[in-house]
Amino acid sequence: MSDAKTMIQTEVVFDGTSYLLAQDQDVGDLRHRIEAAAKTGGTFIDVVVVGNRSVSLLITPTSRVAISVATVAYDPRDTGDIDFPYSGYYDVL
């Protein structure tokens, strides 16, 4: 039996563009915000993605959204804290 730590990773695809959500994102709340935004002419919703980066997405009545969940290797950096982003050029130093 392996002692490797794992975590749940949620992928959301907005109109063909994939985003991996940070660990602290509430998927149920996100679904409700997407549904509410789709009922308007167009509304931005904010999510925090892996790398602890904030992303604003414009949701319209014609937006296509898919959500999937997978178990992946644990990454202790994936906290969702946007004050401490870790992806990008400086992450490899």
Task: List the chain domain ranges.
Answer: 6-75
How many CB atoms lie under 10 A from the CB of residue 72?
11
Among candidates 57, 37, 50, which has minimal Cα distance to 84?
Answer: 50
| pLDDT tens, the chain, 93 aa long | 567 888 888 999 999 999 999 888 899 999 999 999 999 989 999 999 988 889 999 999 999 999 999 988 888 777 777 777 776 544 444
pLDDT of 87: 62
pLDDT of 14: 95
pLDDT of 88: 54
Task: Say how far apart CA 57 and CA 24 lie, in whole Å.
Answer: 18
Two structure tokens written together for 58? 């414009």
CA distances to 36, 46, 71 from 64, rounded to whole Å, are: 14, 16, 24
pLDDT of 48: 92
Q: H or E element: which one contains 76? A: none
pLDDT of 17: 95
Q: H or E element: which one contains 49? A: strand 43-49
Task: Say how far apart CA 9 and CA 21 lie, in whole Å.
Answer: 7
